[in-house]
């Protein structure tokens, strides 16, 4: 292994040093970056990037970079493997083989899969996804008649009541499925289907106290990492808007499994406490960044008071509306909103704001090159149009008035959360380097500045789109 770089990019080579090309190391897999320049196939072990923060038990990654024809790599059930897609799905011919895992880990995962009511025989369990919080695997079954499954180890340090979380998810998905059936849709493709454990629970708790949950894998779908085109952003807005609209008449109680999740007053309590403790002595080195937070504290609290006073209502919301939490079909239409761990009663502005934070960024969430980062106003406009096409009928005037502000609010909150985790010694988010949370902080702050600079235009666009329904 040569030249281990920042952000998980590494230069690799065969033993002879020829056929070098780039690999992108993620937490659970290795992805070829230069697909036109493949080596003939080799194996490697990577221990360096698997910090305890990244995965809680140590296993090594073995990657076989294959020159096999795509049809040998692709699976029987036409799995679109979600990769770092930039607006367009990878064509099957470019899809790299999924990362393999070692035998011990493999046995553990098979044993856990056996604790769930799966139909069909398990053929393989492999890592999937790039989430910062949970660890995600796909369970592949032997027969094309049986579905594949998503297996997740839920992060019990963050989700301290997994049974209540799973109960929330099932209540919400049952409601969604009824609506989907009512309008002639396919409830198993347009909503998540949770698979219970063999003893009838919605999760399995292993001997180490880790919580696992399973849902059906929705085949033939695409999870984008970026919304590069206004068309995709429009669809994403429609997807989240429809999700909220279908839940607008949901009346069952939801457990508050993440108290204060997007509540800035609560975040300031955490912030003040972390700053007072300065547990790893990083505070002095980030005085400038702390100033960014403090300069906007009052402005953010003023908005939150509207929620506290009930002037902005509480609804069923997703609370993590990044584009990779939506599955699209091959035609680019929204199929299903996934990753429902954070479903809560909260303001729907959180969902709109978080989507704007992730969709409109012209750079990466953790872009080390700040000049890449800005808010793309065309993406903002397209998402807003899609979102309002589904939500205009139920949004109150105050909610509508604060849509643009919510983009700043959630982006600001994310700056605070990344910086707070950095000062706290990186306990919350998985990190790939010691300064990863700081890099994220600076990139998100650059995005916030860009939103502030374009705020008048954002407001104008929201009003223009709303006027279509006046």
The tokens describing 204, both together, are 């399995």
Among 130, 190, 216, 339, binds Mg ion (CB under 5 A): 339
| 3-state SS, residue 326 | strand
- 134 sits near ligand ADP (criterion: CB under 6 A): yes
Of residues 320-339, those binding ligand ADP (CB under 6 A): 324-325, 327, 338-339
Give 214-260 as a DSSP string: EEE---S-B--SB--SHHHHHHHHHHHHHHHHHTTT--S----SSTT
Of residues 417-436, those binding ligand ADP (CB under 6 A): none
Q: Which C-beta is closer to ligand ADP: that of 365 or that of 399? A: 365
For residue 383, what are the contacts with CB-CB under 8 A and spacing of at least 6? 227, 233, 234, 236, 237, 355, 356, 359, 360
Q: How many C-beta atoms lie closer than 10 Å to residue 280's C-beta?
A: 12
Q: Which C-beta is closer to ligand GN1: that of 153 or that of 322? A: 322
Q: Which does 218 bind (CB under 5 to 8 A by kind): Mg ion, ligand GN1, ligand ADP, none?
A: ligand ADP
Select from 120-128, 141-149, 229-237, 338-346 the region that touches Mg ion (CB under 5 A): 338-346
Give 43-89 as a DSSP string: --EE-TT--TTT-SS---EE-----S-HHHHS-TT------S-BSSP
Q: Which does 215 bind (CB under 5 to 8 A by kind): Mg ion, ligand ADP, ligand GN1, none?
A: ligand ADP
Among 85, 342, 360, 454, binds ligand GN1 (CB under 6 A): 342
Q: Which C-beta is closer to ligand GN1: that of 282 or that of 322? A: 322
- 414 sits near ligand GN1 (criterion: CB under 6 A): yes
**229 vs 87: CA distance, rounded Å:** 6
Burial letters 37-55, b for 16+ CB under 10 A, else e:
eebeeeebebeebbbebbb
Of residues 190-229, those binding ligand ADP (CB under 6 A): 192, 215, 217-218, 221, 223
The tokens describing 304, both together, are 């939150």
The tokens describing 99, both together, are 């990362």
Per the document, the length of the chain is 470
Q: Which does 244 bind (CB under 5 to 8 A by kind): ligand ADP, ligand GN1, Mg ion, none?
A: none
The tokens describing 267, both together, are 């975040």
Residue 362: CB minimum distance to ligand GN1, A: 16
Sheet with 61-62, side-by-side order of all strands: 45-46, 61-62, 100-101
Residue 141: CB minimum distance to ligand GN1, A: 26
Residue 329: CB minimum distance to ligand ADP, A: 12
**220 vs 154: CA distance, rounded Å:** 25
- 270 sits near ligand GN1 (criterion: CB under 6 A): no
Residue 381: CB minimum distance to ligand GN1, A: 23
- 158 sits near ligand GN1 (criterion: CB under 6 A): yes
Binding mask 128-147 for ligand GN1 (x = CB under 6 A): ---xxx--------------
**255 vs 460: CA distance, rounded Å:** 37
Residue 416: CB minimum distance to ligand GN1, A: 11
Q: Which C-beta is closer to ligand ADP: that of 431 or that of 458? A: 431
**249 vs 252: CA distance, rounded Å:** 9
Strand partners, 194: 215
Residue nearest to ligand ADP (CB): 131
Residue 212: CB minimum distance to ligand GN1, A: 16
Residue 226: CB minimum distance to ligand GN1, A: 13
- 82 sits near ligand ADP (criterion: CB under 6 A): yes
Query: Which residues make up the interface to ligand ADP (CB under 6 A)?
Result: 82, 128-129, 131, 133-134, 136, 150, 192, 215, 217-218, 221, 223, 324-325, 327, 338-339
Query: Which residues make up the interface to Mg ion (CB under 5 A)?
Result: 131, 325, 339
């Amino acid at each position: 292994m040569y030249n281990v770089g920042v952000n998980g990019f590494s230069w690799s080579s065969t033993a002879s040093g020829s056929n070098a090309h780039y690999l992108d190391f993620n937490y659970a897999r290795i992805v070829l970056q230069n697909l036109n320049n493949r080596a003939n196939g080799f194996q490697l072990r990577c221990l360096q990037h698997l910090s305890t923060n990244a995965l809680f038990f140590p296993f090594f990654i073995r990657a076989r970079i294959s020159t096999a024809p795509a049809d040998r790599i692709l699976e029987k059930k036409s799995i679109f493997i979600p990769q770092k897609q930039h607006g367009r799905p990878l064509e099957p011919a470019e899809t790299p083989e999924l990362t393999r895992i070692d035998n011990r880990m493999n046995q553990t995962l098979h044993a856990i899969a056996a604790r769930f009511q799966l139909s069909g025989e398990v053929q393989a369990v492999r890592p999937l996804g790039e989430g910062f919080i949970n660890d995600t695997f796909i369970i592949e079954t032997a027969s094309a008649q049986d579905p594949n499954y998503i297996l997740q180890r839920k992060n019990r340090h963050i989700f301290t009541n997994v049974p209540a979380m799973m109960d929330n998810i099932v209540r919400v998905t049952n409601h969604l499925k009824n609506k989907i059936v009512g309008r002639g849709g396919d409830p198993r493709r347009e909503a998540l289907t949770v698979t219970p454990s063999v003893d009838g629970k919605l999760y399995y708790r292993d001997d180490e106290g880790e919580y696992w949950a399973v849902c059906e894998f929705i085949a033939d779908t695409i999870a984008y990492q970026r919304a590069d085109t206004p068309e995709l952003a429009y669809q994403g807005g429609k997807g989240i808007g429809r999700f909220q609209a279908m839940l607008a008449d949901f009346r069952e109680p939801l457990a508050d499994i993440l108290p204060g999740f997007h509540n800035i007053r609560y975040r300031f309590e955490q912030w003040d406490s972390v700053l007072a403790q300065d547990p790893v002595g990083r505070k002095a080195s980030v005085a400038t960044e702390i100033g960014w937070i403090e300069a906007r504290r009052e402005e953010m609290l003023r908005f939150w008071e509207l929620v506290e006073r009930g002037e902005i209502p509480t609804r069923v919301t997703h609370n993590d509306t990044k584009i990779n939490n939506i599955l699209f079909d091959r035609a680019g239409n929204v199929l299903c909103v996934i990753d429902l761990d954070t479903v809560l009663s909260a303001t729907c502005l959180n969902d709109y704001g978080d989507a704007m934070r992730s969709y409109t960024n012209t750079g990466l969430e953790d872009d080390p090159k700040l000049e890449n980062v800005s808010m793309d106003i065309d993406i903002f406009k397209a998402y807003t149009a899609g979102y309002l096409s589904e939500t205009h009928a139920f949004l109150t005037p105050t909610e509508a008035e604060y849509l643009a502000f919510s983009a700043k609010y959630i982006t600001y909150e994310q700056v605070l959360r990344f910086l707070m985790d950095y000062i706290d010694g990186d306990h919350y988010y998985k990190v790939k380097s010691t300064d990863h949370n700081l890099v994220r902080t600076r990139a998100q702050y650059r995005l916030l500045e860009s939103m502030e600079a374009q705020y008048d235009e954002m407001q104008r666009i929201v009003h223009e789109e709303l006027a279509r329904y006046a």
